[in-house]
Amino acid sequence: MGSGIAQVAAAAGCEVLLHDANMSVLSGAIESIKIQYGKLVAKGKIDEHNAKEIIARIRPAYQLSELMHSELVIEAIIEKLEVKKTVFQSLENLVSENCILASNTSSISIASIAASCRIPERVIGIHFFNPAPLMQLVEVIPAIQTHQAVLELAVSTISSWNKTVAIAKDTPGFIVNRVARPFYSEAIRIYEEGIADFTTIDHAMKSFGGFRMGPFELMDFIGNDVNYAVTESVFTAFYFDPRYKPSFTQKRLTEAGFLGRKSGRGYYDYRENPENNSPTEDQILLQYIFERILVMLINEAADACHLGIASALDIDQAMQKGVNYPKGLLKWADEIGIENCVRRMDKLYDEYHEDRYRCSALLRRMIRLNQQFFAQ
């Protein structure tokens, strides 16, 4: 991720220092960048002169002290709060007081990181999505301590790097990793109930919903260990709200080492001559699966909007540009009809009587006030 962010900044004309405490990792990252640009030149996507200029703007920093003249530092290390705090405290002793200190964390509280600093007002979250050079979205997350001028400068800087910025409140999962949880969890729940297998659920979301990848394909691509860890983190951070409850299915796959593509096995078998089942073509079943997962996603997006996590526009842009959803979820809600969304959520709650299926208060209010998320 760090090398990807370095590419984005350098391509936008910035002078970039790339640091890692492990010298071999740092050298490997620099070499990887050169290889990536070599491939782009070979494909005719960039000319050789421009590629060389971009690469020249990325220099290895073998010591943390080499970052002392930086105007912006983006940390992209392991997702452990205490480790991040230590790094930020070290950086504060090196850089000027005008330098913005940012974390690329996907789930850790920005306020907690800022609290460890002498000048917490200059700390902010700048969350890229992998691979950073290709994914359009960047979530910018101000902590409650972050100065407004720092937020504005961070937004303008990332926007100048040709990225789409979504401003998110400093809550677990921010926008994307919060709103996307039902895409995985409800798909697993449908599988665990014996309603359909992996391939059929994936087929439903692609054929009816237009998603590029089904939930099980995507979990295998991300890595079941990574996806499970995020789910567990969000679940814990939300005081064990049942909407974010992890599944034993994914936990067992992770424990078994069936991590997905990177290990050769996950929900699917990626080894030589795999025997993966073909999906059913039962249109009624496929539509049921798609509508159930979609309304859970819409409900989560609506609740994020209701609680001021982000604006309706930023939520929709985040899901489209951060995880390639075919349509903004709240725009989708308008098209389906808010009343239909509420009816489907209530039907699920009536069947299960589980709090995970509670309907967002915002959706009910919008029916009462005859509102939509976006004006027609």
Q: Which H or E run contains 141?
A: strand 137-142
Name residue 306's amino acid: H
Half-sphere exposure of 70 (CA within 13 A, CB side): 24
pLDDT of residue 215: 97
pLDDT digits over 330-376, tens only?
999 999 999 999 999 999 999 999 999 999 999 999 999 999 999 86
pLDDT of residue 233: 87
Residues marked as catalytic: 106, 127, 139, 177
Q: Which of 131, 150, 170 is the last residue of a domain?
A: 170
**What CATH number did the domain enclosing 82 receive?**
3.40.50.720
Confidence grade of residue 33 (pLDDT, cut at 50, 70, 90)? very high
Question: What percentage of the chain has pLDDT greater than the value 70?
Answer: 100
Same-domain check for residues 324 and 225:
yes
Q: How many CB atoms lie within 10 A of CB 45?
A: 10
Half-sphere exposure of 375 (CA within 13 A, CB side): 0
**What CATH number did the domain enclosing 337 receive?**
1.10.1040.50
Residue with tokens 């690329």: 104
Q: Which of 127, 148, 170 is the last residue of a domain?
A: 170
d(CA 63, CA 235): 37
Tokens describing residue 119: 């000048």
Q: How many CB atoms lie within 10 A of CB 350?
A: 9
pLDDT of residue 106: 87
pTM to 2 decimal places: 0.91
Same-domain check for residues 135 and 49:
yes
- Residues shown for the chain: 376
State how many domains the chain has: 2
- The whole domain housing 164 covers 2-170
> Minimal CA–CA distance to 299: which of 375, 358, 376, 374?
358
Instruction: Look at residue 140 and give its three-state secondary structure.
Output: strand
Q: How many CB atoms lie within 10 A of CB 106?
A: 21
Q: What is the mean pLDDT of the chain?
A: 95
pLDDT digits over 159-173, tens only?
999 999 999 999 999
d(CA 299, CA 124): 28
Residue 123 φ/ψ, nearest 5 degrees: -95, 140
Same-domain check for residues 93 and 67:
yes
Same-domain check for residues 98 and 228:
no
Instruction: Look at residue 233 and give its three-state secondary structure.
Output: helix
Same-domain check for residues 131 and 266:
no
Q: Span 113-132, mean pLDDT? A: 96
Same-domain check for residues 301 and 369:
yes
d(CA 38, CA 60): 19
> How many Å separate Cα 183 from the centre of its chain?
13
pLDDT of residue 63: 95
Same-domain check for residues 87 and 196:
no
Name residue 168's amino acid: A
Asked whether residue 274 carries a pLDDT value surpassing 90, the answer given is no
Same-domain check for residues 314 and 266:
yes
Asked whether residue 22 carries a pLDDT value surpassing 70, the answer given is yes
Same-domain check for residues 235 and 288:
yes
CB-count burial class (<10 Å; 0-12, 13-18, 19+) for 373: buried
pLDDT digits over 178-220, tens only?
999 999 999 999 999 999 999 999 999 999 999 999 999 999 9
Tokens describing residue 372: 């939509």
Q: Which of 170, 185, 216 is the last residue of a domain?
A: 170
Residues 33/25, Cβ–Cβ less than 8 Å: no
Q: Span 245-255, mean pLDDT? A: 95
Same-domain check for residues 352 and 228:
yes
Confidence grade of residue 276 (pLDDT, cut at 50, 70, 90)? confident
pLDDT digits over 48-70, tens only?
999 999 999 999 999 999 999 99
Residue with tokens 């940012």: 102
pLDDT of residue 376: 67
d(CA 338, CA 213): 26
Same-domain check for residues 144 and 236:
no
Q: Span 225-241, mean pLDDT? A: 91
Same-domain check for residues 253 and 323:
yes
Confidence grade of residue 44 (pLDDT, cut at 50, 70, 90)? very high
